Amino acid sequence: MKKVFRTHIILITLGRLFLTFVTVFGCYMLYMFVKFSIIERTIEFYIFSIILSVILGFFSIVSLPFLWPRCFGKLIVYKDKIVWRCLFLKTRKLRVTDIKQSAIKSFEEGNVIKYDFYNTGFLYMIVSTKGIPNQIVSKYKCNKELIIFPLNQKLCSCLADVLLPPQNAKFKSKLIAYKKLNKNKSKHSK
């Protein structure tokens, strides 16, 4: 059994397009910076150097670490292990038998988000071979002991089947809540 899960389609398409655009624009600004620094040092040189440093600084400090795992990351669930992969980042593998704790956390805990356009609930699944630290969701990073990934109904169902008790109990109860929500949606749509 092998099931592959990715983040939301908008992050996969538009997020990757944004990262490509910012990279190309940064390279263009770097070219202009070199061109003006070699030819002449005019006011354009200083304007381009300020714009370049702001764009590349924002991109490398804020956008890249936040968006990269969300745009290029994927979760692969096997019968005996859970694997997180991301382009140019280290692959993280956890054996199902080594998982000691699991959790479902909401992104709203400690963060200010009011609109859930896609009815995902801003839920993330966390599985760990050691204890799960108590912090807000945006602070978790995948490492050799912990994997975090956005939760949806299909992933919840898969984890309820793959994980061993008692780690799968949270996912089984959340799966029941998903089914009730789907039943209520179908009643209201008729």
pLDDT tens-digit readout, 7-43: 888 888 888 888 888 778 777 777 777 776 666 667 7
Could you tell me where the DSSP H helices lie in the chain? 9-10, 16-39, 43-58, 64-72, 153-162, 169-189
Of 135, 147, 1, 179, the C-alpha closest to 69 is: 147
What pLDDT is recorded for position 178?
Answer: 81
The label of the residue with tokens 């040092």 reads 41
pLDDT at 114 over 70: no
Partner residues linked to 4 by β-bridges: 76
Assign 78 a pLDDT band (cuts: 50, 70, 90).
Answer: very high
What angle, rounded to 10 degrees, do the helices at 16-39 and 43-58 form?
A: 150
Q: What percent of the chain has pLDDT over 70?
A: 85
DSSP designation for 135: S
Out of 32-41, 66-75, 101-110, give the one with best mean pLDDT: 66-75
What pLDDT is recorded for position 85?
Answer: 93
Tokens of 6: 């990715």
Tokens of 14: 């538009």
Q: Measured on CA atoms in the order 37, 39, 41, 43, is the torsion positive or negative?
A: negative
Name which of 52-61, 70-79, 154-163 the model is least confident about: 52-61
Q: Sheet harboring 146-150: ordered strands across?
A: 101-106, 123-128, 146-150
**3-class secondary structure, 167:** coil
Residues in the chain: 190
Assign 103 a pLDDT band (cuts: 50, 70, 90).
Answer: confident
Assign 95 a pLDDT band (cuts: 50, 70, 90).
Answer: very high
Give how far the C-alpha of residue 133 lies from the chain's centroid of Cα atoms, to the nearest Å.
18
39 versus 93: the higher-pLDDT residue is 93
* Measured distance CA(86)–CA(19) in Å, rounded: 15
Tokens of 49: 């150097």
DSSP designation for 137: G
pLDDT at 138 over 80: no
Assign 92 a pLDDT band (cuts: 50, 70, 90).
Answer: very high
Tokens of 152: 């949806």
Q: What is the pTM of this model?
A: 0.76
Per-residue pLDDT, averaged over 173-186, amounts to 78
